[in-house]
Structure 1
């Protein structure tokens, strides 16, 4: 009986979340430190994938419960050292250098969005302008993927959000029955 009641409450909560997310004119919220963060504007052009063809997502975004808590603040895409890394949109190189023990490149897309890639080696310098699809570096060695992926992180107004909100060609989520 208790299991049936919990299942019913869970289903009702899920239905409410889906209804709110799909309501016309309403932005879909994402997880963040201080509550929901807005996704990319509905009229914003979708980004190109940083590798071609895009590798599968080997680790998804996992928002931490607080700004200093553990989490996975981006996605990991399958990639191998030496593969070219492409600008997802028209952007400017905001940072290119080593962070801790890995090469990182951060691009500014517009005024409030930063997208970081690691490990990525580049000869480009800070301030360089890039066009969508333009190669700006190569997948390097290092990072937490042990030479099998590239990490992509996105910050909107300083808050981490799932990069999948910006990329084109994301398959729709499918809800499956519990039984």
Structure 2
């Protein structure tokens, strides 16, 4: 099954909020998710400026935070394209790095405010220093790395620490504590 960017975010948000197999009727019926009403205008504007780096995809490997800074984990999201292979900037910024790393093409974009994204593998990359807007092409899906062929790894760092990219896309639900028994 493939998703549009918004539908994929909503589906992952549901899985994170209620677990696999339990889909609230509003989401099952195709309702779109939105930011909670208590978020301020500045936060809503920041989230509105972010988009998925692929237009149509499925999430093949979600973010998995490591137990500690150097521990194992998955510091990003792997997205398998379900259409064109164009990789786009998730937000406005400046290309800080574009080149090969360990045999695969990597594009790093500095978005200001301590936010930096990394997209890999990417081919046909822009020149470092290039300004990009949200949605601007930064290359096409390349080969190599840990992501499956036809997939892109989307990682985000905030002040040097990896965070879940979905936090910037506005579709990560709040944690809900459930009774243990």
Alignment of 1:158 onto 2:160: yes
Report matched runs for 1:7-86 at 5 Å: 41-46=43-48, 47-53=50-56, 55-79=57-81, 83-86=85-88
Which of 131, 134, 155 is the aligned partner of 1:132? Answer: 134
Which residue of structure 2 lines up, in the alignment, with residue 119 of structure 1? Answer: 121
* Equivalent-residue separation in structure 2 for 1:117 and 1:147 (angstroms): 14
Q: Which residue among 89, 99, 103 is the counterpart of 2:91? A: 89
Match of 1:107 among 106, 109, 112: 109
Question: Which secondary structure does the structure 2 equivalent of 1:71 belong to?
Answer: coil
Bigger radius of gyration: 1
Distance 2:168 2:159 in 1: 15
Separation in 1, partners of 2:126, 2:165: 23
More displaced 10-residue stretch of structure 1: 55-64 or 78-87: 78-87
Is the CA contact (8 Å cut-off) linking 2:47 and 2:169 kept in structure 1?
A: no
The runs of 5 or more residues in structure 1 that have no matched partner are: 1-21, 27-39
Shift of 1:41: 3.8
Aligned residues: 144
TM-score by length of 2: 0.68
Q: Which residue of 2 aligns with 1:149?
A: 151
The two structures have a TM-score, normalised by structure 1, of: 0.68
Cα offsets for 1:120-144 (capped at 9, x unmatched): 1134111100111111110101111
Structure 2: runs of 5 or more not aligned: 1-35
